[in-house]
């Protein structure tokens, strides 16, 4: 069976280049006459920061819109697994307009069951993170964890995208969120309720809110690119607690959507890694090297008020192998930042002592033990391969072919070893 769709997932701590990978896949597919029908977002929310630079110099940090938006005709679908922030979406749409995307909201569909992130969630997130002081988790401060936690505790009161079409229901749920979080934290949370209701109902009028039948029809057509957020090493169950996200960052949600549409065997699983391993904010980074952090600044990833500093380490094959195992394998790899040259850059193929292992039944206690193990890890760092040898080295270490190379930030700074969307690639296990 041939692969109909591609799912793109970061095999690190995020920031490996998912956005630029998705952008390239969409542009290449259109050039070949088989355009992508939509980019489907399947986890995370407004805290995503996927940087895309076009060949004509436009730059946008995609958060909720799909990173293929600069390719004409490419739509975005926010699945029910997304946490949708209408205010952040409006700001993102406005920036896209300044870059030549005439009416971004006409390119967008939103599943009615997608949870809504509100200003009350964001305010609670920031208050809670600030109270941790030196023990901050490295949150993005966008309210993602608060949105997920509130929905778990109060499933009937959690606002969803479909509620933006029902002002009375929306108001009742927004009051519930505001009052519950205010009582829990003991601080008054803004903004004004009427203003929030007005903004959210305006969002409901501006976008097309759809049901699960739309998603099934979309995936039965295709092709689509599933765009993941964050990285597998930040996964809510398999990451290193508490330095994780409240989101499933593996291929699982994308595969669930595909299975529901009856195309579960038609998804090509593409994992993304850099030639060096990075982390934004607190948490274990075994191969971290202060000299590399100083020598390899990232133009699109700096120190964030809530996340903290951008940190750099040697290529950590151990951690990336763990991510591949968490995902139960990948079909191919996108290798980014292959243009980076630094004489001190190395690779870690092993640690001294125990390496992380995937739990049969993961829970937070296991994740905390993994965290302690990763903080204590002592990587064995070797010389990095020669530039031309990187693809074969990474393929051998992670057990999958490198099918896409990135050697710069722009769309054209990419090259495929295989044409992923040509329709002639066998599905995983075929």
Burial class (CB in 10 A: 0-12, 13-18, 19+), 346: buried
Give the integer Cα–Cα distance in Å for 307 and 322.
24
| Alpha carbon distances (Å) from 391 to 317, 321, 325, 386 | 13, 15, 19, 10
Could you tell me where the beta strands, DSSP code E, fall in 127-256? 208-210, 224-227
Question: Is 363 an active-site residue?
Answer: no
298 closest CA partner among 319, 278, 273 = 278
Helices 212-221, 252-260: inter-axial angle, 10-degree rounding = 90
Question: Is 15 an active-site residue?
Answer: yes
CA atoms within 13 A on the CB side of 362: 16
Catalytic residue among 15, 23, 85, 289: 15
105: CB partners within 8 A, 6+ apart = 93, 206, 207
Pairing of strands 59-62, 50-53: antiparallel
Does an H or E element contain 182, and which?
helix 167-185
Cα(first)–Cα(last) distance of the chain, in Å?
7
**How many Cβ atoms from other residues are within 10 Å of residue 255's Cβ?**
19
Catalytic residue among 5, 10, 23, 50: 50
Identify whether 208 is preceded by a cis peptide bond (ω within 30 of 0): no
The catalytic residues are 15, 50
């Amino acid at each position: 069976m041939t692969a109909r769709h591609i799912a793109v997932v970061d095999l690190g701590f995020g920031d490996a280049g998912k956005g630029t990978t998705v952008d390239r896949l969409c542009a290449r597919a259109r050039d070949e006459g088989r355009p992508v029908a939509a980019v489907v977002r399947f986890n995370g929310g407004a805290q995503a920061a996927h940087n895309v630079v076009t060949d004509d110099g436009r730059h946008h940090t995609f958060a909720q819109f799909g990173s293929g938006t600069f390719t004409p005709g490419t739509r975005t679908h926010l699945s029910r697994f997304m946490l949708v922030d209408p205010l952040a979406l409006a700001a993102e749409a406005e920036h896209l307009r300044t870059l030549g995307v005439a009416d971004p909201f006409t390119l967008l569909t939103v599943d009615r069951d997608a949870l809504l992130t509100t200003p009350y969630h964001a305010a609670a997130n920031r208050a809670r993170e600030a109270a941790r002081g030196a023990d901050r988790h490295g949150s993005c401060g966008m309210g993602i964890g608060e949105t997920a936690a509130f929905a778990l505790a109060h499933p009937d009161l959690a606002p969803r995208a479909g509620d933006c079409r029902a002002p009375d229901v929306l108001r009742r749920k927004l009051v519930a969120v505001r009052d519950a979080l205010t009582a829990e934290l003991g601080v008054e949370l803004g903004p004004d309720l009427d203003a929030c209701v007005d903004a959210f109902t305006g969002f409901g009028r501006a976008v097309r809110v759809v049901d699960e039948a739309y998603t099934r029809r979309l995936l039965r057509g295709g092709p689509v690119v599933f765009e993941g957020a964050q990285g597998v090493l930040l996964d809510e169950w398999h990451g290193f607690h508490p330095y994780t996200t409240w989101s499933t960052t593996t291929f699982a949600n994308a595969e669930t959507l595909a299975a529901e549409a009856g195309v579960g065997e038609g998804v090509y699983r593409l994992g993304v890694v850099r030639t060096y391993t990075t982390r934004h904010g607190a948490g274990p980074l075994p191969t971290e090297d202060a000299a590399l952090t100083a020598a390899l600044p990232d133009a699109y990833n700096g120190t964030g008020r809530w996340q903290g500093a951008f940190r750099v380490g040697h290529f950590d094959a151990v951690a990336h192998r763990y991510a591949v195992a968490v995902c139960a394998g990948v079909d191919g790899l996108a290798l980014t930042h292959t243009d980076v040259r630094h004489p001190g850059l190395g690779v870690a193929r092993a640690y001294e002592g125990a390496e992380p292992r995937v739990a049969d039944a993961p829970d937070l206690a296991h994740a905390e033990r993994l965290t302690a193990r990763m903080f204590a890890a002592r990587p064995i760092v070797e010389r990095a391969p020669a530039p031309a040898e990187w693809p074969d080295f990474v393929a051998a270490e992670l057990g999958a072919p490198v099918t896409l190379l990135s050697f710069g930030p722009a769309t054209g700074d990419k090259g495929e070893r295989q044409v992923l969307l040509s329709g002639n690639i066998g599905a995983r296990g075929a």
